[in-house]
Structure formats: C-alpha cells, structure tokens
Amino acid sequence: MAREIVVSPMPGLIKSVNVAVDDKVNEGDTLCILEAMKMENPIMAPASGKISEVNVSSGKSVKGGDMLVVIET
C-alpha cells in the first residue's frame, strides 16, 4: 500500500478538520481548511484512500511543509 502525505502549502491556522482516522476519502475531497493571510484555503485529498494519520486540529498553527494528513492509497 502506498502512502500519500498531505503537507501544508504555506504557514497559517487550521480552521477546521473534516476527516478522522479510518475515514475513506476520494480524490478532491476537502481534508481541512487552512486560513492564511485572511483567506480560507481548502486542503484537498490528492488521491483516494483511507486516512491513516491526522496530525492537526482546529486552531493549530502550521508552517509551510508541516505534515497534515496521511492517506493510505
């Protein structure tokens, strides 16, 4: 099984997390919302699979490149 690691594209604040471990997602589903520079940016699933790790929670600050979610494809 392959792992798809979803990282933050920029520094910001996690506004919401829409997935939990063991959830099934499809490519393009919104995993979480990242607020950066007063704009809300949806972080989308790059592939379909099952969520194996969620490393963020609402209200958490992240840096660019921080690991957010891992998807087992």
Q: Which residues contact 10 (CB under 8 A, 6 or more apart)?
A: 34, 36, 41, 64
For residue 40, give the CATH number of its domain.
2.40.50.100
The pLDDT of residue 50: 98
Q: Range of 60's domain?
A: 3-72
Average pLDDT, the chain: 97
Q: Is the dihedral of CA 73, 7, 70, 40 positive or negative?
A: negative
Q: How confident is the model at residue 1 (pLDDT cuts 50, 70, 90)?
A: confident
Query: For the chain, what is the domain count?
Result: 1
Please state, for a pLDDT cut of 90, what percent of the chain lies above it.
99
Check: CB of residue 25 under 8 Å from CB of residue 49: yes
